[in-house]
Amino acid sequence: MAGSPRVGVLALQGDVREHARVLEGLGAAVTLVRRPEELAEVDGLVLPGGESTVIEKLARAFGLAEPVRTAIAEGMPVYGTCAGLILLADTVLDGAEDQQSFGGLDVVVRRNAFGRQTESFETSLEIEGFDAPVDATFIRAPLIDSVGPRARAIGSLPDGGVVAVEQGVLLGTSFHPEVAGEDRFHRRFLAHVRAR
């Protein structure tokens, strides 16, 4: 698709197809990124939900970890959901012993803050810049413990727990908007890609 934003979905594990479907529905040309040369072809990247420790280990095994870190540091727009938010965070609490993140997002994130899979839940959230609430699905989700000065909270639970943040061209949510067919975060991400 000529003129379409070229975006990638990190396709090592997790809900890759769901993100690709939303992005293609919004007119983006989507590449499933499994190798550094595929990352080099895209102008933005989605880090999907899944198992953050598995995704991170596979990224190292496939030689993608450092290229992703470099792309983020050089200003590539990135959207991370759930495990993707963990991977994007500068600091991860309760991580596996050797777990590393790609970093870039000035937040402290706590893994599995809401408990096990059986304690997954859905709720409605107000998000800064959206004209109507978001239906948010939380599945073994992380919680943003603190937001540093470079980032800002754009969505919180009623108890004040931060679950959505933005920092320049970086966007992160604790929940899975793609599960509920919510596309406004992907639209926001694509706006960053187009503006870059």
Catalytic residue list contains 192: no
Residue 140: closest CA among 83, 180, 95? 83
Say which of 18, 82, 166, 182 is annotated catalytic: 82
Beta strands in 67-120 (DSSP E): 78-81, 89-93, 105-110
Cα separation, 83 vs 79, whole angstroms: 11
Catalytic residue list contains 178: yes
- CA angle, 72 then 21 then 58, to 5°: 45
Helix (H/G/I), strand (E/B), else coil: 2: coil
Say which of 176, 182, 186, 192 is annotated catalytic: 176
Which residues, including other chains, have CB under 8 Å from residue 32's CB and lie 6 or more apart? 8, 9, 11, 16, 20, 38
Say which of 56, 178, 182, 186 is annotated catalytic: 178
Cα separation, 58 vs 161, whole angstroms: 30
Q: Are 40 and 73 in contact (CB under 8 A)?
A: no
| Residues annotated as catalytic (active site), given as ranges | 82, 176, 178
